[in-house]
Structure formats: structure tokens, C-alpha cells
Amino acid sequence: MVRQALCLAIISIFWGNIAAYGATTCQDVLREKMSWKPESLKVSSSLLEALRVESGASSAHASSVWDQSNQLNTLEYQDQVFQLLIEKIEKRSKLGLQAPVGVSTWSRAKRNDFLQVLYDKEMVLADTLSFALSDKLIAAKIFEHYIGPTFHRYHPRTEGLVAFFVAHGFIDSATGELKASRQQVREAFEAEFPDGFVVKPTSGWSSKGRTFFKNIDEVLHSLFEESDGGLYSKADYFEPFFSEELQHVVSGERYIVQSSLGETEGLSEKGTKQEILREYRSHSLWGSVVPKATKGRWIGANPGEPERLAVAQFLQDFLDSLPLGLRQGQAWSFDIVQVSDSKFGIVEVNTNRGMRNHWSGSLHNPRIIGAYARHLRDRFGWRLQGFSGLLLYNNYANRNRYKRHNQATRKDHNAEE
């Protein structure tokens, strides 16, 4: 076994050097593939417009509808988006799309090449659904719609910030101005989220929670003392928010407010005296958890086999609660917090954002790539041919790039310390 591993390591280095020959043209093709997105997203500036194009309207008619829907406020826009997404998921469920099985194919032992094979064979789809679910509010509300009352066993309560303020009568519908006092806002947050909360952007990412608001004093400071209105301005009520990260209006909200799962590794501050909860990154494909593709979210937090199995079982229970139309062709990664010895909670889901790209930074990791390769073989009957297939199956794919990535990550981590 040791001799086989040594041979694979040596040959993988040699193979990587050979594969580098003529790689410029190959990389150009890969970049073009990875930036691909559905036509409905190319011709639209909002998710609502894209969904209308897909529902049968011409792009010109959908644009006209979008011009009219510019008169919608954020919550009216949001209602229409959710309605069309549910219709889309229901139609997909009725079609009963099946995963491609028994595929025999070849891929270079590189992350991006491997992923493009999954897209080419339609094992993973880049579509408006995966695009929509990259918005944290949409993902939470779609999951809650289908799971129902037990949703909170898996995922924290999640509300759009504008919707939260409107529900409490804090916004003047004529002017869009926030008419609540500091004390009223404080009381509302404390009543609705007695165990704490976090306010964070609906799209994009935030390393170590730098754009998060984790307590009521931070929220009040932003609302009442920042010159630009901070967390809320009247434009947030009248104009659905355009996400720079996604280059579209998606849910229309800038921020969500979410019940707290506790002090996690990702949100903890240096010197905190609170108990730090462990955080994991887990992966799925077509609604099934990828075995051995669960890792610690932060450096030094890799789980043992009992923890890995417990996270996987929790996530599989969650995925089994979703309809077929929501799982078809979807590859996701999840950030999961261990709240107690036997309780977990989903922080958020990560998708490919509607592009033929990765859905997890952990896909740099040869072990995660290998886990996906073996899952394709064991669950879907795929066969990855040749020596590259051997490298993929045995966790040797992408090794050199991963080492460079890992060294850079550790350097940045040490600099923060």
C-alpha cells in the first residue's frame, strides 16, 4: 500500500509536468467554459426577468415586464420571484429528470477539468435555480417552504431585513423612511431573536464575518449613526437591491437577519471567552451527501470519522426533506455548525451561482475531489478512465495547486494572528 502511494505520488508529479505542455490553449477553453451562464441570465438584469424568459416570454417581452416591475417595491418583487421559483421546481419534479449513470469518461487530474466533465455530461447543471439559491434569503425561504415546521431543526430562522422592519410597522410606506425609535428596534430584535442573531449580506461572502452585525448595538449604530443610513435606507424599500457580486437583482434584499447558532469559528474574535463551536464544510451531489467529503471549515478543525458520519447523517436527513425538482442536477456545499454533541445547524448553502464553476473552495483539496470521483463510481456507476482516473480516485488530483493554495491560506491566517 505504501509502495503504491509512493509510486502514485512520483508519477503524479511527472504526469502534471506532461499535462502542462500546451496548457495555455486548454486553460483558455476552460476559462470560457467556466464563465458560461444560461441565456436567460445573459439577457436579463434581474432574476425575475430571467425566470419570465424561461417561462416562455420572449426576452423583449420579459424586459418590458421588468420595466413595469421596476415599479414594484422590494417585497412585491420578492413575492413574484418566489412564486416563479416554486413553479419551476414543481415542473422539474414532474419531469422526473434522472441522473446520468454508467458513464465512462476521461478527465485530466485537475479540479477545473474534472468539473467541466460533470457539466458536459449534465451530472451538474448551471442554471437559474443554482443561481437563485446563491442568494441566502432565497435559499432559506425555498428550503423552509418545502420542509415546513421542521425547517428550524436544520436551519436558523432567516428573514429579509426590509421584510422584518415592514412586519413590525417600522417603515413608512409612503416615504420609505424608517420611523421606529432606537428603543423600538431594540425591543423587536430582542423579542424575535431572544437567543441572539446575526445580520449579514444576502449575497457574496465575508471572511471571518467582517461584514456581519452580531449584536443589537452594532445594528443600532449602523441604522441611526452612520451618515449613509448603513443597514437601511429608503431605497431598500422602493428599489429591489442589485447585487454587484451576482450582477443581478436576485431576492431584492441587501441583508438578512438570522437567529444565532452560537459563537462559531468563523465569527469568533480573538480573545473571546465564549465557547467556540466547531464548523464544518460538507458536500452533496443530486441530493446525496458525498462520503468523506466533510472537512473542518477552518485550519486545525478537521473532524474524526465519528464527527464526519454525524454531520453526513444530519445533512442527508435535510436533503431527503427536499423535493426531487430541487435536487436534480444540483451540486452544493454546506457550512454546518456543531451546536452540541448531537445537534447541528446549517449556516448556509453554497452553489455554482449559475455558472459552470466550482461550488466550494474546498474543491481545491485532492481528498474532496477524490471523494466526488469515488461517489460518482459507487453511487452512479461512473468510470473515470486511464491513469488520470487512478489519480482522481486516490486523492492525487490537483495536488500541486492545492499545496500552493494551502500555503497561501496558512500565510494569510498567520498574518491575521
- The pLDDT value given to residue 19: 46
- The pLDDT value given to residue 396: 94
- The pLDDT value given to residue 414: 46
- The pLDDT value given to residue 77: 97
Distance CA 149, CA 138 (A): 17
- The pLDDT value given to residue 71: 82
Over the chain (417 residues), the average pLDDT of each successive run of 10 is 53 47 50 73 93 77 54 94 96 91 94 96 96 97 97 97 98 95 97 96 68 92 84 95 94 96 67 71 97 81 83 97 96 94 92 95 94 98 96 93 67 47
- The pLDDT value given to residue 21: 39
Each as own residue / partner, the long-range contacts of residues 154-158 (CB below 8 Å, 24 or more positions apart, any chain) are 154/314, 154/317, 154/318, 154/321, 154/345, 154/346, 155/318, 155/345, 155/346, 156/258, 156/259, 156/260, 156/261, 156/345, 156/346, 156/347, 157/193, 157/258, 157/259, 158/256, 158/257, 158/258, 158/259
- The pLDDT value given to residue 274: 59
pTM for this entry:
0.87
Domain boundaries, the chain: 100-156+275-417, 157-259
- The pLDDT value given to residue 232: 95
